[in-house]
Structure 1
């Protein structure tokens, strides 16, 4: 979509896309956002309330940027939603946050925006940017509104945001975006955003990149927590993690982690886990930024029923059966949730090595009851976009293949051990209706294996005498 940027850029320096340099990135491209399709107002009766810092967006869906459809390399494909964006709505509401230790020391705040077609940006409820969207600053924009013109997402634009000290606060800062397409029928849409200070000091506190077990889940055992930070940290001790109010006993890890905290298993029930208010965790900046801490809850239930999810089918020598988004035909693995409850795969992992159960970890992804999920075993290591790609490939001669849950230590939920047998081109292998391993004469990725005839093995290839 060709076009121009909205004329309303007064007060902003508009430059061609450029490298953010060696400064500090406060919000990176590809970050996770809460999002809400614009089929109606984001908040009611006050349509502006969703931009407020204390507005609860926990019920909104969560996914990685870029958001869009009809474009390559999307983090969240809006054409896969029900209903899809095209022909149903022109607006998407987005929320995320970033932290800054001392806004008074910020040299400048830049926005690096890739968008097709327009958007409004608020930080802590203050409108700071309106691009390719009509109306004066501060005026209401309905969810049925459209961008002023068609434009392409690339090249990205870098804009110097004015007077950030007027709206930034120490600690968490809330970013709200209303992204708009130019029409309901447009064939594509795209949005991604970064915020950075290319020349100023590092004011970004270390943050948690991953936690295992994931907050909010039910586990059957709980004697360890694993945490990875966004950057190397210092001053971390076992007692910095409180489990049910009791300091952890052991700690292993270095740099950015992962750090593994060990402790005696608490009594079953809801377990409050928190970083001690007295922790000394900090980064390595010239003036160190302190970790902001936080708290979460896990439920410990040793009698919880096991998750009924299996490695239902895989293909270790894919010739022409299934292509990925790059037009390649890599190996693939199909999961099937056979149970009656949805399963959050965040923190679960696939591996071809029993000594590395966490070899490739799933992103946050819920698998509904009776739902299938295909993961390409391509070695491309992609955790976002229309398709998931593991970091390893399968060996057609046979090897171990396992699915591990998100507990710590991880437990094998289903595995082909010690190894699956030799495979043939474009024949899949998996479980028949009786959960017996077999070959399938016609692969059924994403569908029930009952649709295909089976075989127990192959005749050996003839050897010339």
Structure 2
């Protein structure tokens, strides 16, 4: 075979030897690597260097597999790289083997059974973030993983730390017949959310028994009358008529979760690419429980048993360590999601406990330039008023007020509504006169623009800083001149002097505070200029950001009509 492009590749070579002999030679053509060593590859059968026995790479979970070279010990398996409490739940530390290396861990737990005649079998397990469990070579349970597991698989969804340390009970009584007298094997493929996840945990036990007629498990409820559910609940039920029936399961969504839960902020392109987050808000009048609510598109996350009071915010993050390095500890984080938000925009879907859609929409990175790589988040204007169907529209969103967004709090009191201040008219070619830029307040309230910025360079948006205390009156106009303001090096706000190009360009307006950008932005573009002809919005204060030639300049006043073909 031939590899046409340079790069690193994993090759699986299967060969069979007949007539004696046991040698395999691998040759490489000259290139980026023309020799091979044990650090570059290893044979599947090279047990001394960590490989699996030939032909048994996919049966490590069977009892006849030779695990003599594996790390051995008692207790749970895991690691903790972020100062959490997982060390209380494991004795075998695998941080060196897993952290930033692999999201999978193979665990084999042999045990003895005297009497194998059991009808009730429960797997009790702590897990972060998922697992596939096998009993004597047969799969019996899995959580947060779908598909065929591989040696480097990762979980499809996260399991929040507070849920991971609680022994979850998984009824595997349907597989009780796999038990046998003597030696048995429980094998667990532990799955972390990602290779760089800050922690991992698998701690398991099997509980077997025989349920006598007329008795139920201590934690079960005997059904004699309707049961009142106070929150979303996953119900498991059996009937007993001489013998126990098969297990039946269903989920009930309780409370106004779909009516009250709203996505209120998305940080999809942060300065630290691992500090992504999604914020949710309870816009209802009563506390809701998010148990079994889940993100299924864009990212994957299953919410634990957690309450959200009216007006409160809750966060799900990509990487808790990276998130807290930026924002500090103590914010209301429900857990880490699987996957990564697409900087180019993508579809997000949120379902309630019964699988009904709460949100299903796509966002677009073209909506606001300031969000695309400058560290601002995408924020819903009014989560309580927005129609969930409208979240796929730009008009439902605005940039966050501050760089880094507002995880866990509402920044709307500091926000300026889109279109409040616009670049309304410009002059780029006035022989004997100065270039000028006119701003217009389109609202019915005065707006202070002190600390805001004007620029003609998208890579240098803070070229001219407007003086503190500058106010545009209700419906008013304010003109900035090249010779007095943005091109005047004696003006303290002129950080990088500039003039407007008569060949056409784009002018940028951004809000600011303390010398840094905040989240409001506007821009206006114009083409090649004719002498003495300004460019303006038409009608005045409205229209797109593409300005059109005006029939006459009107600095500080409403715009004149657009120029006609007969205008000089």
Structure possessing the higher relative contact order (Cα contacts under 8 Å, 6 or more residues apart): 1
Greater Cα radius of gyration, structure 1 or 2: 2
Q: Would you call these one fold, judging by a TM-score over 0.5?
A: no
TM-score (norm 2): 0.26
TM-score (norm 1): 0.31
Task: Please identify which structure carries the higher helix content.
Answer: 2
